[in-house]
Structure formats: C-alpha cells, structure tokens
Chain A
Amino acid sequence: MTPEAAPPRRGRLKIYLGYAAGVGKTYRMLEEAQALKGEGVDLVVGYFEPHGRQETIAKIEGLEIIPRRALTYAGSQFQEMDTEAILRRKPAVALVDEFAHTNVPGSERVKRWQDVKALQEAGIDVITTMNVQHLESLNDQVWHVTGVRVRETIPDWVVDEADEVVFVDLTPRALRNRLERGVVYGPDKAKRAMENFFVESNLTALREMALRHTAHEVEEKLSASPVALEAAGLLEKGQASGAQAGQTIRKDRILICLTGSPSSAMLIRRGKRVADYLQADCLAIHVARNGASVEDVERHMSFARNLRIETHILEGDGIARCITDFARREGITQIFMGRSRSQPWWKQFRETVVQQVVRCAHDIQITIVADRRRPA
C-alpha cells in the first residue's frame, strides 16, 4: 500500500532579469544549468530561444531538451513550450526562456508565466529570463522613454512572488558592440535596432530601471520575512512592521478613481506602483453614471483585478461625494485621480470633480497623476 501522496512542495522560481535583448540572460541561465547538471541535478530545458547566437547555443550542449509543441494558428505554424510533456517528465529543475511570452491562441494557457506556475505547482523548480520593460508597472515609463508600447507584460506580483531575481548586467557600450559585431541580431536588424530602441540613452534608462527594480526585489524579500510570520499568525498584528521600523506606522491605503477614459490604465499602473513601494493596500472604484461606457470601465476594472487591486463600483449622483464617503468609510489615506479634462471657458466657473474632491476630502491626501506623454 502506498501512503497517500502529500501535495508536492511548490517549485522555486528564479528570474534572470535584464534590460534588453543580448545582455546575456539566457547565457547566464545555461551557465547555471551546466553547473547544476555537474552536481547531478535532474534538469531539462523546457523552452530555449537561441536567436542564432553561437556562444549561447554552445552552452546548451549535453542538456536534455523537451521538444516543443507545434501549433497551427491562422494557417501558420507556431512552436510553443510543451508544458504537459515537462509535467510528465517531472524533472527537479526546468529552464524556461522568455517569461513574458504570450502563447499562441488555442494554447492551454494564455501566458507563459501561467505555464511556469503550473510547473511550480507540480513541484518543479523553474529558472527563467525576462527584461525589465515587460513589467506592467513600468509600461508607461518605458513608452515615455523609448516610444515603444510593450505589449507583452507581466503583472508585478508575479515577479514579486519569485524566490530570486538576479540582475544580468552588460554596459550599454558593450551591448552596442555586440550588436555591431552581429552577435545579437543579423546585420539588417542590428542596424535598425541600433538606430532605434538600442540607442545609448534608452539602454541607460532601462538599465537604471532594472537595477532599481532588482534592488527593490531584494529589499522586499528582506522585509517580507517578518510580515510573512504575521500572516501565518506567529506574530501579533502590527508587531512585525513595528519591530522593523522601530515604531508603528499607520499603513497607507490608496484608492484609485477609475473612469472609462483610456488614461485610466496609466492611473492604475501608477497607483499600484506607489502602493507597492509604500507597502500600502490598494483599492479601485468607479462611480457609475448613466451614459458612461460600461465596457471601457469593465476593461479597466478587470485590468486592476489582474494586478491584484480590490475593485468596487459605486452608484450615486455626486461623484465627488461618493468618492469621499467611500474613502472615509474605508480609511483611505491617499486618493489617486486623473486630471479632469480641461473645460471650455463658460464651464470654468464650475468646479471639476478633482476640485470638488480636493475640497471635500479634508484629511485625505489627493494625488493627481501626471498625464505623461511622449515628448515630440
């Protein structure tokens, strides 16, 4: 008789974080894999993107590769990671390149990070790679700096839940040298890349973001331990943060006021980012009015929920009143709002919603989020 199988230990997740293609994330991952294999660890390559880079390809020698799965979509063939095959093989460690990848429609899961979660659930440790620009909270900033709207994003909490984030560095100068020598892309693509995304200023800015983000992850893990104890009921509530800071700080609660406007996405990202850094709770509300496009609002609400923001829809006539009443009830310390659209002159004597909230919300701080645009 076999004893009832205990649920498997959740696999660990390690992310090699870079700031652009070609800095050497995959190489570092494979280097670690070779070292692990040398120690006798049962390891497979679940997904690997060689990009035709010789140095990287050489590093894969001797590693067991799980063949990819071919999928047909819209008449074209696509190669995706065969998650089910890895689960069947059940190694101790799986390497999965390109954490931010979106699977072809028709795949079991929409995103590769969801595949990785499935592997972890089955007790498999995963080592993966990603670039900082795929972080959801940095999406607007990356667009502002580089002009590129990154479509494949990962919610920050997914990265926060990783057991380890290691920064893979290469100086922008060295990266541009590699491009010039044709190590990263073919000659045509390399030339275009160097004139566009890979200009030195973009690379420098992205590199700084990646450094700061890795530092943030290290700090979060440092401060997470006592909080984790609190959650597990091993410490009195408030004891953990008090013990750390030497005093009890009132926890911030941030409220994001959504509308159907496209700029609400920016508002959500920024509000959540500030909440994460301040270790604050984060809520989002929308005050429903007749005639508002429900579809746009619902899209923003679901986006917010994906980022693990608690959402509410309120109904009432006075928007500002609704917002401030809710904020008081919920003990909100900061309200995040977008700018009210500029009014025609004959309406300028009337208060905007922002002005009304500022007036009503006596003891609550109000943040009007920058309407960042791409400089011309």
Chain B
Amino acid sequence: MPARVDYRRNPEELLRLVQADERRERRGRLKIFLGYASRVGKSVRMFAEGRRRKLRGQDVVVAAVQPGVTPEVQSILSALEAIPTLTEKYGGQEYQVIDMAALFRRHPGVCVIDGLAYFNPPGSRNPERWQDVEELLERGVSVITAVNVQHIREKQDEVERITGKRACDSVPQAFLLEAEEIEVVDASPDALIGRSDGITPGSRQLAELRELALLLAADVVDRQLQDYLDSHGITASWGTQERILVCLTPRSNAAAMLKSGLRNKLRFHGALLVAYVEQKGLGPGDQEKLNRHLEAAREMGAEMHCLRGDDFVRAILDFAREQRVTQLFLGHTSRPPAVRLRRGPIDRLIDAAEDFDLRIFPHAEDK
C-alpha cells in the first residue's frame, strides 16, 4: 500500500462527526427552509409544517414571526400557540428578540422560528438568533426555521456581487450542515417580480440568487450523501457531483490541463483537485518543471495533494477512488515506445478506470 498524505476528512472532522452522533441523541432536531428571495413562500411552508406537526400530536409553539404577515400565513398562525418576541430598544432602534426565558419555562417539543439570521441587540443572551436556536436544540427542543441565501455568511460576497447589497445579519454555513433536514423553497422568479414589494431585485439578479441557493442546497445534500457513503463503507463514486482530478507530471502540458480543469469545475459546479506523485530520482530539470506546474496550480487556488508510492499508477488510482473522482486528467507523450514489451501507465489506467473518465492531454512539446 502506498502511504497516503491526504485523507478525505481530517481527524478533527471525523471527531466532529462522532460527537455530532452522540449529541444528536439528546439534541432537538433542526429543519431549515432555504429560499433565494423574500416572498418565495418560505414562511407559508414553514408554518404549514408546524401546523401539520401539531395535527400529528407534537407540541408546537411559534416563537418568532417576521413583519408583514400575509393573510395565508395569518390563517395558519391562528391555529398555533405563540410565544411572542420581546421588543427591545437599543441605540434608537427596535429589535425583536426571542423570549428565551418564556420558552425555557414552556419547553415545547417543537419551536417555529422565522428569520433565522436576525441579530440581537448588545447585551442580549446571544448576539445572534441562530445561537438562540442552537441553545434550544441543545436543550432538546426541535426547531423549524427559515433563511434566505443572502444571509449565509460564506455566500455574502457573491450575493453582493449579484445585487450590490449586503445584508448585515448572517448565519454561518456550518450551521446549515448541522441541520438534520434542509428543504429548498423554489419558485419562478416571474411570480416574484409581479408582487408589489418595491425592493425586489431584477429578474437576472433573481435568477443568479436562485442558482446560488440551489447549488448551496446541492452541496449540503452532497455532504449528507458522502457521510452516508463513508459511514456505510461504500467506496464507489456515485458521480452526483463532478470531481475532477488533474495529475501533473514534469512533462505534462500543465497550463492546458489546469485551464480545462478549471473550466470543467466552473461549468459543472464541481470540485477540482490537483495531485502529483512524488518520484525518486527526478532530474533537476524535471524537478524544476514540476515545481513550476505546482506553482501555477497553487496560484489558481486548486486543492493540492502530494501522493507517495512506488507505483505511480497505483498511487493515482487509490487516490482517485478515495476522492470519488469522476474525471481524471493526465498527460501523455505521443512518442511511440521503442519496444512494446511493457504496458505503459496510460494503458494500465485505461484498463483500471471503471469509475471515472480518463482524459488524456498531449504533452506540450509533442505538438
């Protein structure tokens, strides 16, 4: 077995998974409705779920409602018990804060909380509302909540690029990964534009936000799927997301391979990995070439992996499987071998590549 330098998950991540499992036993369950703009219908879906659960005998209360409740939401709310938010003043502004003390006394089974990204005024129990939710979960209360992609911290730069605006309140993306369930609320942008809101973004911006929300949800779902496959010892690639591995060697046409890898990553919204196999006895010229390639890959911001092993092909194959790669990019020389006694690395990879496509790039100097 070749020694592997890289692992899919580092030990901290694995520990996090184990601890998450243990905590999950006593913890409340979190369900998040994810939307891409206001008025896509998140609140209706969320409160309707609260009402459904109540009808099924669960102990449901509503702990936060956003201003501007539609008649449809109002009719659902009238069927649910409410613990209203407290209005707190700070610096001349009013804040709606979840009444945590009342919730602790009441200790419901399920709590419905709209506006996950709100922040609390200074001096509150928690600076941000998602931390209030976290505390409820820790105490065994299940939470149903809703958030828009504009409020996911890691997506805010992109949202600002699209809309030119940045929401000041946000939720870390890691909190979405904590959720047992995340449900996307999708709708036609056309249906939103017609609604009188006054501040709705244009149709192109809405489409971009929509794509962002769908891809965010896909990444969360992909994480759930990988966790499932890992925990069930399934090593096969299911190919739900394209994962491209560019293998660099000294003589490969790294510029073309990296450029193509990046284009594929962007078009498929997949992952791009770059790997090289540490080889003994590399001449100084080749070593220098390889270093230049690696520098170019680093500049592109690619995820770099150094593989070790006596057998070049084996090392690549093992890594590709471990990473559930769907496309492997490799360079080749078109100079014919003098004698075809041994099968070359490309031949061996072609034979072994069952789970992934193998894309062969001509070497730069062969042109």
**Contacts from A to B (Cβ < 8 Å):** 14, 141, 144-145, 164, 166-171, 173-174, 200-201, 204-205, 207-209, 211-212, 214-215, 218-219, 221-222, 249, 270, 277-279, 334, 339-340, 342, 348-349, 351, 354-355, 358-373, 375
Docked Cα-Cα span, A141 to B355, in Å, equals 11
Does A373 contact B354, Cβ atoms closer than 8 Å?
Answer: yes
Docked Cα-Cα span, A169 to B218, in Å, equals 12
Partner of A358 from B224, B236, B346, B357 at Cβ < 8 Å: B346
Contact partners of B263 in chain A: CB under 8 A:
249, 278
Closest to A219 in B: B211
Spot the interface stretch: B15-23, B107-115, B238-246, B296-304: B238-246
Docked Cα-Cα span, A278 to B269, in Å, equals 11
Does B362 contact A368, Cβ atoms closer than 8 Å?
Answer: no
Does A363 contact B362, Cβ atoms closer than 8 Å?
Answer: yes
Closest to A201 in B: B228
Does A14 contact B188, Cβ atoms closer than 8 Å?
Answer: yes
Does B236 contact A375, Cβ atoms closer than 8 Å?
Answer: yes
Residues facing A in B338-365 (CB within 8 A) are: 340-341, 343, 346-347, 350-351, 353-362
Partner of B184 from A169, A200, A222 at Cβ < 8 Å: A169
The 13 sampled A-B contact pairs (Cβ below 8 Å) are A144-B236, A170-B183, A174-B181, A174-B183, A205-B225, A205-B240, A208-B218, A211-B221, A212-B241, A349-B340, A358-B346, A367-B358, A368-B359
Whole-angstrom distance between the Cβ of B267 and the nearest chain A Cβ: 5
Partner of B358 from A14, A279, A351, A368 at Cβ < 8 Å: A368
Closest to A225 in B: B204
Residues facing A in B300-355 (CB within 8 A) are: 326, 332, 334, 336, 340-341, 343, 346-347, 350-351, 353-355
Count contacts on B: residues with CB < 8 A to the other chain.
62
Number of A-B contacts (CB under 8 A): 151
Closest to B182 in A: A171
Q: Does B208 contact A (CB under 8 A)?
A: yes
Does B357 contact A204, Cβ atoms closer than 8 Å?
Answer: no
Does A211 contact B181, Cβ atoms closer than 8 Å?
Answer: no
Closest to A351 in B: B340
Contact partners of B180 in chain A: CB under 8 A:
173
Docked Cα-Cα span, A348 to B267, in Å, equals 38
Whole-angstrom distance between the Cβ of B285 and the nearest chain A Cβ: 23
Contact partners of A207 in chain B: CB under 8 A:
221
Closest to A12 in B: B190
Does B267 contact A167, Cβ atoms closer than 8 Å?
Answer: no
Closest to B355 in A: A370
Partner of B181 from A171, A355, A363 at Cβ < 8 Å: A171
Closest to A210 in B: B218
Docked Cα-Cα span, A347 to B92, in Å, equals 86
Does A200 contact B208, Cβ atoms closer than 8 Å?
Answer: no
Docked Cα-Cα span, A349 to B339, in Å, equals 9
Does B269 contact A212, Cβ atoms closer than 8 Å?
Answer: yes
Closest to B332 in A: A358
Does B210 contact A218, Cβ atoms closer than 8 Å?
Answer: yes
Does A358 contact B360, Cβ atoms closer than 8 Å?
Answer: yes
Does A364 contact B362, Cβ atoms closer than 8 Å?
Answer: yes
Docked Cα-Cα span, A182 to B355, in Å, equals 38
Mark B27-54 against chain A: 1 for CB-CB distance below 8 A, else 0: 0000100000000000000000000000
Does A362 contact B362, Cβ atoms closer than 8 Å?
Answer: yes
Asked if A144 meets B239 with Cβ closer than 8 Å, knowing A167-B186, A169-B185, A370-B357, the reply is yes
Q: Does B291 contact A (CB under 8 A)?
A: no
Whole-angstrom distance between the Cβ of A261 and the nearest chain B Cβ: 16
Partner of B222 from A141, A171, A208, A219 at Cβ < 8 Å: A208
Partner of B360 from A141, A171, A365 at Cβ < 8 Å: A365
Closest to A371 in B: B354
Does A221 contact B228, Cβ atoms closer than 8 Å?
Answer: no
Docked Cα-Cα span, A369 to B350, in Å, equals 9
Partner of A348 from B229, B343, B361 at Cβ < 8 Å: B343
Q: Does B187 contact A (CB under 8 A)?
A: yes
Does A144 contact B190, Cβ atoms closer than 8 Å?
Answer: no
Does B267 contact A278, Cβ atoms closer than 8 Å?
Answer: yes
Whole-angstrom distance between the Cβ of A4 and the nearest chain B Cβ: 32
Whole-angstrom distance between the Cβ of B346 and the nearest chain A Cβ: 7
Q: Does B193 contact A (CB under 8 A)?
A: no
Closest CB pairs A-B (n = 4): A215-B214, A211-B218, A167-B186, A171-B181
Does A366 contact B359, Cβ atoms closer than 8 Å?
Answer: yes
Asked if A218 meets B188 with Cβ closer than 8 Å, knowing A169-B183, A212-B241, the reply is no
Contact partners of A208 in chain B: CB under 8 A:
218, 221-222, 225, 240-241
Partner of B188 from A166, A278, A365 at Cβ < 8 Å: A166
Docked Cα-Cα span, A200 to B214, in Å, equals 20
Contact partners of A218 in chain B: CB under 8 A:
207, 210-211, 214
Asked if A204 meets B221 with Cβ closer than 8 Å, knowing A169-B183, A212-B269, A222-B208, the reply is yes
Contact partners of A201 in chain B: CB under 8 A:
225, 228-229, 232
Docked Cα-Cα span, A89 to B214, in Å, equals 38
Whole-angstrom distance between the Cβ of B264 and the nearest chain A Cβ: 7
Q: Does B282 contact A (CB under 8 A)?
A: no
Asked if A222 meets B214 with Cβ closer than 8 Å, knowing A208-B221, A348-B343, the reply is no
Contact partners of B222 in chain A: CB under 8 A:
208
Q: Does B215 contact A (CB under 8 A)?
A: yes
Closest to A348 in B: B343
Whole-angstrom distance between the Cβ of A104 and the nearest chain B Cβ: 33
Contact partners of B182 in chain A: CB under 8 A:
171
Q: Does B124 contact A (CB under 8 A)?
A: no
Whole-angstrom distance between the Cβ of A92 and the nearest chain B Cβ: 16
Closest to A169 in B: B184
Does B241 contact A342, Cβ atoms closer than 8 Å?
Answer: no
Whole-angstrom distance between the Cβ of B143 and the nearest chain A Cβ: 15
Whole-angstrom distance between the Cβ of B152 and the nearest chain A Cβ: 15
Identify which of B207, B214, B343 gathers the most chain A CB atoms within 10 Å of its CB: B214
Whole-angstrom distance between the Cβ of A100 and the nearest chain B Cβ: 20
Docked Cα-Cα span, A166 to B184, in Å, equals 11
Does B184 contact A359, Cβ atoms closer than 8 Å?
Answer: no
Q: Does B279 contact A (CB under 8 A)?
A: no
Given contacts A355-B346, A368-B357, 19 further A-B contacts (CB under 8 A): A14-B188, A174-B181, A174-B183, A201-B225, A211-B214, A211-B218, A212-B241, A212-B269, A214-B186, A222-B207, A277-B268, A348-B343, A355-B347, A368-B350, A369-B357, A370-B326, A372-B239, A373-B354, A375-B234
Docked Cα-Cα span, A249 to B343, in Å, equals 37
Contact partners of A174 in chain B: CB under 8 A:
181, 183
Docked Cα-Cα span, A169 to B41, in Å, equals 13
Does A363 contact B208, Cβ atoms closer than 8 Å?
Answer: no
